[in-house]
Amino acid sequence: MQKLSPADIPRLSPSDVRSADAHPVSVIVHNVRSIYNVGSMFRTADGGRVEHMYLTGYTGTPDHKDLHKTALGAQDVVPWSSHENAHDVVHELRDRGYTIGVLEITDEPTHPAETPPSAFPLAVVVGNEVTGVDDDLVSAADLALEVPQYGMKHSLNVGVAFGIALSHLIRRYRQLNDLPDQAGPITTRTELPDPSADGT
């Protein structure tokens, strides 16, 4: 085993990322207070090659220069838009055939690695660092995604929780569609199936 140098790590160029198929997962980041957490989520979203990030409520945008400190350029390749009302985004995505998931602790948890095939395309709502996802958005969701925890604390940093959940979701989608999920060049230019082409 040998650590790879940055030059040896296979990756897409910014132009290739913009033209590559995205996984059928979008993210609604609602009322996240820390611009550094938002930047971190941009970087994670790039790693998962998500479709779109919807920044709602008072969530900061890439127009804030401090976001760049943690996004590290991901804000330039991940599609995003800013919206005042998260419910409007939820309704629009549901009308387009998306399942609405919330990253939250509820009485009906679903492990992200066990997301049902029918949930894709999926829009994941991520909420505030202290209060989580708003109750009315939880009520509007189709499923709740929960990262299991085994210690004293009942919550994770929002950026950390998002990273864990997204990793499971992308791997789940790729396994359901017989796509390779190991690291390396085999994953860099995969043609992704159209989730609306069949009933899964």
Domains assigned to the chain: 26-187 (3.40.1280.10)
User: What's the average model confidence in pLDDT over 2-28?
Assistant: 83
Matching residue, tokens 């957490």: 37
Residue 5 in this model has a pLDDT that exceeds 60? yes
76-129 per-position pLDDT tens digit? 999 999 999 999 999 999 999 999 999 999 999 999 999 999 999 999 999 999
The answer to whether the bond into 121 is cis (omega within 30° of 0) is: yes
What's the chain's average pLDDT? 89
Q: What is the pLDDT of residue 6?
A: 81
Residue 197 in this model has a pLDDT that exceeds 60? no
Residue 59 in this model has a pLDDT that exceeds 50? yes
User: What's the average model confidence in pLDDT over 30-51?
Assistant: 96
User: What's the average model confidence in pLDDT over 136-146?
Assistant: 97
Distance CA 51, CA 25 (A): 6
Cα angle vertex 47, ends 195, 15, to 5°? Answer: 85
Residue 187 in this model has a pLDDT that exceeds 70? no
- Strands 99-103 and 143-145, by their bridges, are parallel
Q: What is the pLDDT of residue 8?
A: 81
